[in-house]
């Protein structure tokens, strides 16, 4: 996909910027080559009960540190895995094959998301925004990973709830 600042539609041409993105894209190509009855669901910034995720990581860092730095120049839509699973269930029941972006509504930077996590968890910590160039990661990350849920909406499905509301529910189930 070309580098966009306001998000990507399902019909935008993919242009992965790292190996992980390339392997995901090649998987999509293989699926489309083998059948015309497929569901490809793209999502972003997942957080949920199982596995590692940003919310769990940032809460753990707050236990271990007095000050945390978080990238503020990458934006996306944090998505609760429970909401995503329910959405995929609706999609499969309708048998509306194709490519879908399914994310929570709303978007933010990682820094803004961390601020929201700490606010909802009632944690007071020194949080500092940093530029991606100051925060070295093994793989290059997109500045904007907002996914427009265009096909989802065109099929008549309701917009997923805002990530802030989903975060509140998620945090109620966590022990921290």
| Residues forming the active site | 20
Lookup result for tokens 């753990």: 60
d(CA 16, CA 78): 20
d(CA 61, CA 68): 7
Radius of gyration, CA atoms only, the chain:
17
In sequence order, what E strands does the chain have?
39-42, 46-47, 67-71, 75-76, 79-80, 98-101, 108-109, 126-130
Q: How many CB atoms lie within 10 A of CB 87?
A: 22
Q: Which residues share a beta bridge with 101?
A: 42
Residues 44 and 108: beta-carbon distance below 8 Å: no
């Amino acid at each position: 996909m070309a580098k966009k600042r306001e998000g990507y539609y399902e019909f935008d041409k993919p242009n992965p910027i790292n190996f992980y993105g390339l392997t995901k894209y090649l998987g999509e190509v293989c699926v489309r080559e083998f059948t015309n009855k497929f569901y490809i669901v793209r999502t972003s910034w997942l957080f949920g009960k199982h596995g590692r995720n940003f919310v769990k990581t940032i809460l753990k860092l707050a236990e271990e540190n007095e000050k945390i730095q978080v990238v503020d120049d990458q934006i996306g839509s944090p998505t609760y895995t429970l909401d995503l699973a329910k959405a995929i269930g609706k999609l499969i029941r309708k048998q509306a094959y194709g490519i879908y972006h399914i994310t929570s509504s709303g978007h933010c930077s990682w820094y803004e998301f961390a601020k929201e996590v700490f606010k909802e968890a009632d944690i007071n910590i020194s949080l500092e925004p940093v530029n991606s160039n100051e925060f070295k990661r093994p793989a290059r990350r997109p500045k904007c990973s907002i996914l427009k849920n265009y096909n989802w909406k065109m099929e008549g499905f309701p917009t997923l709830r805002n990530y802030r509301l989903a975060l509140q529910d998620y945090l109620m189930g966590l022990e921290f």
